[in-house]
Each structure stands twice: as structure tokens, then as C-alpha cells.
Structure 1
């Protein structure tokens, strides 16, 4: 942007004129006008002293006044720019553009113009990000919906082949195919749920929630599944004591369902699950004796579900700490 007028150059020019212009005018006045009508006897030394004292005082006063006016005006313009920036920072919103005088365009106006350009770039970037997010959510939702039809067809063929006579090796392959189809369907459900959740399609209603009661209900619902997989349950769920979190009960149940589902899917070989509600520390602890999160099966299957759970916990101002090794995985949920 081309600079047309300099603020500080005008400041220096004004001070230069006030310092040197009055003495020059006075000299010209005495040289060409004043001495023609004044006798030398009347212009004595004392009068000269008063004249120069008056001139010096005028220069000092003019210097102070013009400096004060300059910096007062400069402070007003900088304060206005600071208020716009502070308002956006305090309200977590984009700042409003500042007014710029294009006919002046000094250093402050150039700063304001650059600030306005930055705001425009941020707004354009936010708009593009929002449009890309909508496109991604729409694409994932459509893919999740469209892929259900071929999965259903595959499952139908597997069911038909199960009725045919074949070797035990063929039966094992069909069983593995059926499990794979189920796993893919579950992953699609997790992906669709995460997409709907991050796009705000799942309502969030935090309320004071009895965590002990909620965990007991979740464990009771999952008990038949653990029993079917021959997983030993070691629970410590106090019935007389409890604590409360400001959380969405449905979201909290979904988080626990994800943790229990991961035990069934990826840690069933450990045949053990430990579920604890620590009232004193206000924590939920879920542990298993599976192969750990470094296992490829766990990494492949649990990523989307854990991302969904972490997103929900963050919205509820909670957190999940994971400790995992070859001897099992331990998850501790508490306040963020």
C-alpha cells in the first residue's frame, strides 16, 4: 500500500515551523518594517530582553501545546484500535473492521487497513473451513448409508452358504467373514455417530448425574455379554455412597458402552474386567488384562470409538487417562 502522508513527518514539520518560523518573522519585521519607525534610543537593552523573552516563551508554549495535541490524538486512535482487538478477544469472536481514512493513510491508518485485511482473511478461512466440514460430514453420512446395502447382501450370502454342506475349514472361513462384516458395520456406526456428534446433531443436555447409579446400570446391561465371553467381572460399585457430575447421562452411558465394547472386542482373551467407582477421588476406573492398546487389533478397531468418547468427555469437562501395556489396559475417568 502506497504511503501518501506520514504522521510523524507532519509532527516534525509542525515543530520545526513553530521553533524557527517566529524568529525568522521577527527578524524580517525588524529589518524591513520595525526600524523605520522606531528610534534607536527607544529600543534599549531592556526592551530587547523582553522581546526575546516573549518570543522564547511563545516558542516553548507552542511546542508544548502542539506536542500535547499530537499525542492526545495519537492516543485516541490507538485506544480505538485496542478496544476493537480487546472486544474480540474477550468475546471469542471476530473483531469488527476499524474505520480508515483513505485520503490520509498515515501510519495508523495503514495499521488499521492491515488489521481489516487480516479480519477478512480470517473470515474467508473460517467460511471455507465450515463449508469443507459440512461437505465431509455429508460425504461420511452418505457413504455410511450406501455401504449398508452391500454389507447386507454379503451377510445374506454368508447365511445361505452356512446352510450348504462344506468342510470345517470352509465353515471357519464363513464364520470369519460374518465377524468381519459385523466389525465393518460397527465401525461404520461409530464413524456415523462421530460425524453426527461433531456436527451438533446429537443434543447435549448436561444435568446433575448420579455416577454410581449410572455405572451400576451400565454394568448390569453388559453383564450377559461379559458372561457369554466368559470374562470374569471384578466390580467395586458402592451402593450407599456416590458422587455427582454435571454430565449428560446418555453421553456418559455411551462412553461406558464404548469402553466395555472395547474389552469384549479386543481384550476378551484376558478373561478379566475390573470396574470401580472411587467415591473418594470421584473417579471411574475400567481395566482389563488384554494385550494392550499397542496390539494391532485394538488400534484398528478402537480409534473412532475412542475419539467419540474423548469428544463427549471433553464437552462434559471430563477426561480419560489411558495406561496400557502387554498386561492390559487401565482407563481412569475423572474431572478435567
Structure 2
């Protein structure tokens, strides 16, 4: 059974059950106050709204009406008046147009007694509805008879009616009708609101599920509210958003894979072409002397090494990208490590006439957590990148090291051609070269800085670049300090 049908049945029950209870309550009240259900019809047929035709009227009818001589028995009349006064009912007797008797509670209301109608005819009986007289409601039953002396007599049983009772009885059908209208309108409105708050959001979720099934994720699930439906809508929107991001990442991975294959093919083609050319030269006899043959073979070997280096770089980058390269971390005194590395680097740079400067403003008791070999690869790749593109006669590389706020900062500067501001954000992308035309001249795999970035991310550090075109490039490496000054954990 659908949720909509369940809601409709539940609200139908909410409508029917109160109505049945209302009817049962009304019948119970009628039975309680009237004694049986047969008098229900008389309740509306009677015009005397405030007076109930009970044993008092029958007593008077059986005594005074059947024995008119009792009209002169004042003691008997007082007894009857006293008995019926408990329900604020009074006896008024008019004989031959004059008031012969009036009960004590109504005796002072002479104006009201005078307003009572005159004698109509023998055995005349009439019930009158309640009417307003001097701020009070009265109803009465008139019964006309003849006295023992054959004089016209009008007997009146007058009842004082409570205004609230009068209004309740007078407007009971209207109030009951309005109650039913309000009850029905309330349930209809409640059903509409609940349908709006439950059925519509569920319908929106169903439509959203259809769109996702069809592969359309460019939409937003708008389900408001903090109830279960609203929480379901938020979870559904989060699922849609993550699925869309996952598809976008997958598409990006596919695009990167195609780009990677294209770049690998391009970078491998050059040395393979050269190797094929030199092999053909040897086979065709172009290398017609031992010296030439040796030169061709050495060139083939160099190109093969270049291909091997490229393949190794690709293999390393792939493992880093897939998080499959294990890092062997250890606590390393960063000052001593950089000093040893800088000393080795200076020895190599002096051979190629590159000026090397260091400035290490660093506490010797500062330790970092690193994988020595992989971090050395980061520094080596940065230096090789700088050397590869240096175009000035006087070449300079500068290393600046400092620690501040639990961070070690290593800056490697060169005085090369620099990189344009537009190209700067991409230098850590794989196979990116700011000037593609220089690739054949400078060499390189285009993976050095990309590998450096992956390694630094694995160390929980960061690497970024800044440059001024024509003045040089600055690579900034930051790493968190692990142990400092006396071996206290940070």
C-alpha cells in the first residue's frame, strides 16, 4: 500500500471516528436528560423551549383540570408551587380575566403576569417558546378550563429559562452544523498540508532518482524541513553531489590517462627514432670507420639510457599517484641533513661553473620526519630543473633555510629566465613545460617537479613556486617540525 493511500485512510479515520463519537455523545446526553430516545423528536417539536412537560404538568392536569374546585384551595396551590419551584417553574391562575393565584417567585412580576394571553376556549392548550421580558427569558404552557362555577380559567405553568440554555437549544443545529463544517475543513486542510509536506517531497525524490538513473546529475534536490523527509532529502542531495564529483574525477582521470599516454608516446618517440636512425646507419654501412661506429653505438646507448630514465620516472610517478610508494620515515636533524647535501651539491656545481650560496638560519636541534632518499630526490629534481633552463652567463643557485612557528621553510632560488605568471600555476603538473619548443634542447621528462610535489604531499608538507620573468624562479618547500630543542615532541 502506498504512503499516499495510508495517509488518506488514516485521515479518513480521523474524520469518521470523531463524528461517531460526537453522535454517540449527543445520544448519550439526550438519553441522560430525557430518559429515553423517544422524546428526542419532542425536543424540537415543542415550542416551549425552556419548559419540560414532565410530572408537574401531568399532576396539575390530573388534579386541578379534572377537579376545578381545587382552584379555591390555596393551601393545595401553595404545595404545588413549592414542589415545582425547584426547577424555577411557577403557577399562575387567571379566573375570569383576574389573577386568582400566582406562585411566590412570579407574584411580584405583575407586568409579566399581565402580559400573559387571555382565555381562548375550554380545553385549549398551547406551549409557547421562550421570549424575552425585562432582561429574562420565560416560557409557559397555557391550559384553559372552566371553574366549578363555570367561569373561564387560564392555568399557566411559567418557567424561567437560563439565557445560555436558551441560546444553546435555539442554535444547537447551527452550532452542530458549524462544528461539522469546521471539523471537515480542518481535516481537509490537514490532509492537504501533510500531503504537501510528505507526498510532494517524496515525489521530488522519485523524480530525482529517475534523473540519476538516466545519467542526469546537473540538478539540485530541494527538500526543505528538518523532519525525516528533509533529512532524507539532504542525504539524497549529498549522494547526488558526491556521485557527480566521482564521475567528474573519473572523467578527469580518463582524460589524464589519455594525456599521459600521449605524452609518453611523444617523449619515447624521439629517442626511439634516434636509435632507429643510428642502427640503420650502422646496418647500411654509413658508419664506415671504427670511430664512427663507436660514436653511433655510444649515441644509441645514451638514447637507451634516456628512455630508461623516462620509464623509471613514469613508474615512480605512477606509484606516487596511486599512493603505492611506501615512505620510510625517520627523525632527521634537518640542519645536518641539508648541510651534507649542500656540501655535495657545491662540489658538483663548481664543476660546471655555477655559483652556489647557502643561508641556513636554523636551530641545529630541529628535527623533521622524512624519508631521506625521497626527500633528496625532491631537492635533486628542483636543482636539475633550475640547471636545465639557466640561460645566463653567470649562473647562480641560492639555498635559504629558516624555521618559524613549528615550520621549516626551504627556498631554492636561481637566476634563470623565470616563468610567466600565467604558466606558474601549472609547473607542478606532469609533462608541463612552460616553453614546449625548448624540450628538444633542454631534455627532461617533464615529471621532475610533479614527482617533487607528490613526495612533499606524502611528507605532509607543501611545495609552491614564485617567479619574476627574466629574473629567476623560487621554489618554496615547507615541512612541519617533529622534534625540536632537546628532543621534546611538538
Residues 335 and 362 of structure 2 are in contact (CA less than 8 Å); yes or no, is this contact kept in structure 1? Answer: yes
Q: Which has the higher helix share?
A: 1
Structure-1 residue corresponding to 2:351: 228
SS of 2:380 mapped into structure 1: helix
- 2: CA distance, partners of 1:261 / 1:113: 58
Structure-1 residue corresponding to 2:449: 306
1:290 matched to 2:440? The reply is no
For 1:88-167, what aligned pairs fall within 5 Å after superposition? 106-116=199-209, 118=212, 122=243, 126=247, 129=250, 136=257, 154=275, 164-165=290-291
Residues 461 and 479 of structure 2 are in contact (CA less than 8 Å); yes or no, is this contact kept in structure 1? Answer: yes
Against the structure 1 CA distance between its residues 266 and 131, is the aligned structure 2 distance closer, same or farther, given a 3 Å change threshold?
closer
Structure-2 residue corresponding to 1:277: 401
Structure-2 residue corresponding to 1:41: 47
- Count of aligned pairs: 278
Against the structure 1 CA distance between its residues 112 and 305, is the aligned structure 2 distance closer, same or farther, given a 3 Å change threshold?
same
Residues 218 and 257 of structure 1 are in contact (CA less than 8 Å); yes or no, is this contact kept in structure 2? Answer: no
Residues 391 and 417 of structure 2 are in contact (CA less than 8 Å); yes or no, is this contact kept in structure 1? Answer: no
Q: Structure 1 residue 260: deviation in Å?
A: 1.4
- 1: CA distance, partners of 2:376 / 2:177: 86
Structure-2 residue corresponding to 1:30: none
Against the structure 1 CA distance between its residues 206 and 62, is the aligned structure 2 distance closer, same or farther, given a 3 Å change threshold?
farther
- 2: CA distance, partners of 1:36 / 1:136: 92
TM-score (norm 2): 0.42
SS of 2:388 mapped into structure 1: helix
Structure-2 residue corresponding to 1:198: 321
Against the structure 1 CA distance between its residues 65 and 291, is the aligned structure 2 distance closer, same or farther, given a 3 Å change threshold?
same
Against the structure 1 CA distance between its residues 279 and 128, is the aligned structure 2 distance closer, same or farther, given a 3 Å change threshold?
closer
SS of 2:401 mapped into structure 1: strand
Against the structure 1 CA distance between its residues 48 and 273, is the aligned structure 2 distance closer, same or farther, given a 3 Å change threshold?
same
Deviation string for 1:197-244 (max 9, x for gaps)?
112221246666543344334334434432332222101235743645
Q: Structure 1 residue 189: deviation in Å?
A: 3.0
SS of 2:290 mapped into structure 1: coil
Q: Which has the higher strand share?
A: 2
Structure-1 residue corresponding to 2:378: 255
- 2: CA distance, partners of 1:59 / 1:246: 79
- 1: CA distance, partners of 2:359 / 2:312: 31
Structure 2 gaps, min length 5: 24-38, 50-165, 213-238, 420-433, 481-490
Higher RCO, Cα 8 Å, sep 6+: 1
Residues 335 and 363 of structure 2 are in contact (CA less than 8 Å); yes or no, is this contact kept in structure 1? Answer: no
Deviation string for 1:128-183 (max 9, x for gaps)?
939976x949x96xx79xx69x86x939x69x9798346xxx97x99888766655
- 1: CA distance, partners of 2:332 / 2:444: 30
1:241 matched to 2:364? The reply is yes
Over alpha carbons, which structure has the higher Rg? 2
Structure 1 gaps, min length 5: 27-33, 78-105
Q: Structure 1 residue 283: deviation in Å?
A: 1.2
1:320 matched to 2:470? The reply is no
Q: CA RMSD in A?
A: 5.5
